[in-house]
Every structure is written in C-alpha cells, then in structure tokens.
C-alpha cells in the first residue's frame, strides 16, 4: 500500500490528494456508526445527546459474540481494481464470498445496525483521499496514467492477501485509532 502511495505522491496530480497514514490502513468492511448515526444505537435519543465513547462501548458489547470467532475468521482476497484513492479486493472464490456475507450478516444481527459501507466499499482499502477536483485534460490524463501504474503494480505483486481476525476499530481522527482486542 505504501508503494501505491509513493506512485501517487510522485505524480503530477499529487497536490490534489491527501494520504492516509500507513498505520491507519484498514479493510473496513462493516461501517457501524458515524456521528450522524449515533441515535440508531439508542432509539429515542438524539445524536447530540450521545457521546461517541458510550456508542463505542455499546457496539463493543453487542459485537462480543462475533468478535469471539475472530481468530478463526479468514478471508482470502485477491486484487480486483484500483483508482487514485483505493484498492478494491474480491473474494477468492464462492466459499470466501459466502464467508464474507455470513460474517457481515452476523455483525448486523449482533449490532442491529445497518452497514454504512455500500456494496462497492465493502472490500476496499483506502490509501488516499481527493482534496481538490482533478480538472483539465492534462490532469485527467495524468490521473489515468497513475491508475494504470497502480493497477499494473498490484496485478504483478498482490497475489492473494489473507485477511483474518477481524477487530473493532474506533477512529478518532484521520491518524488516531484504537484497536480492540478480539
């Protein structure tokens, strides 16, 4: 992932992007809550009345049984596609696809929260974010060239990535997070 960031950072469109801190890389398949959805955890309360630490504690309690299975939860994923901000992965086969679906279903059942990730975002690793729109023919061409370089690199080197032991991650800022033991 850091090599992909370096490709983007060395390109002429680098000023249009911000970079995710490498220690914060995360496959965030189930997005549980954000500040606007806090009230989904505690019906009858407004989001303004709820503290994020109380929401995190509630989610951690609800996820306890699912996270107990984390040591034997395993998803072999392969490279699917990339752009200038993220790498999208795909299940290695039907068995992996079913395992991912069942795990997502278990998380939803335990938390009673809908997934904040769209189907396109489920298996995505974000390494950068667009700060300014990439406009103009030269910039658009440079963007296409960077996407080709990233794709070429990952097609050669990614192979199969084993994701195992899902954990609850609590994002505090863009560079600070806390990982709960599973």
* Predicted confidence (pLDDT) at residue 46 exceeds the cutoff of 80: yes
Mean pLDDT of 153-179: 73
pLDDT at residue number 173 = 45
Percent of the chain past pLDDT 90, that is, above it, reads 43
Mean pLDDT of 86-107: 92
User: Which burial class, exposed, middle or buried, applies to 109 when counting CB atoms under 10 A from its CB (0-12, 13-18, 19+)?
Assistant: exposed
The DSSP result for 4-44, as a single string, is HHHHHHTSTTGGGEEE--GGG--B-------TTSGGGTSTT
Of the candidates 64, 24, 57, the residue with the CA atom closest to the CA atom of residue 38: 57
- pTM exceeding 0.85: no
pLDDT at residue number 30 = 81
Hey, what are 162's tokens?
A: 């084993």
pLDDT tier for residue 51 given thresholds of 50, 70 and 90: confident
Sole residue written with tokens 């992909």? 4
Least confident of 5-9, 79-83, 148-152, 158-162: 158-162
Hey, what are 63's tokens?
A: 């996820």
Using DSSP, state whether 173 is helix, strand or coil.
coil
* Cα–Cα distance, 181 to 165 (Å, whole number): 10
pLDDT at residue number 182 = 44
* Cα–Cα distance, 30 to 104 (Å, whole number): 7
**Range from 66-80, 121-135, 140-154, 160-174 that averages highest in pLDDT:** 140-154
pLDDT at residue number 175 = 42
* Per-residue DSSP letter, 175: S
């Amino acid at each position: 992932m850091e090599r992909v960031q370096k490709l983007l950072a060395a390109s002429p469109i680098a000023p249009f992007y911000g970079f995710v801190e490498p220690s914060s890389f995360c496959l965030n398949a189930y997005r549980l809550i954000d500040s606007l959805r806090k009230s989904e955890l505690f019906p009858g309360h407004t989001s303004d009345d709820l503290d994020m630490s109380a929401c995190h504690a509630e989610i951690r309690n609800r996820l306890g049984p699912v996270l107990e299975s984390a040591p034997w939860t395993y998803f072999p994923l392969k490279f699917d596609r990339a752009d200038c901000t993220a790498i999208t992965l795909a299940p290695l086969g039907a068995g992996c696809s079913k395992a991912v679906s069942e795990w997502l279903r278990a998380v939803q059942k335990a938390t009673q929260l809908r997934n904040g990730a769209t189907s396109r975002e489920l298996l995505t690793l974000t390494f950068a974010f667009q700060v300014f729109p990439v406009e103009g023919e030269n910039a658009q061409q440079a963007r296409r060239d960077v996407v080709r370089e990233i794709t070429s690199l990952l097609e050669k080197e990614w192979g199969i990535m084993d994701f195992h032991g899902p954990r609850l991650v609590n994002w505090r800022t863009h560079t600070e997070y806390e990982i709960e033991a599973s």
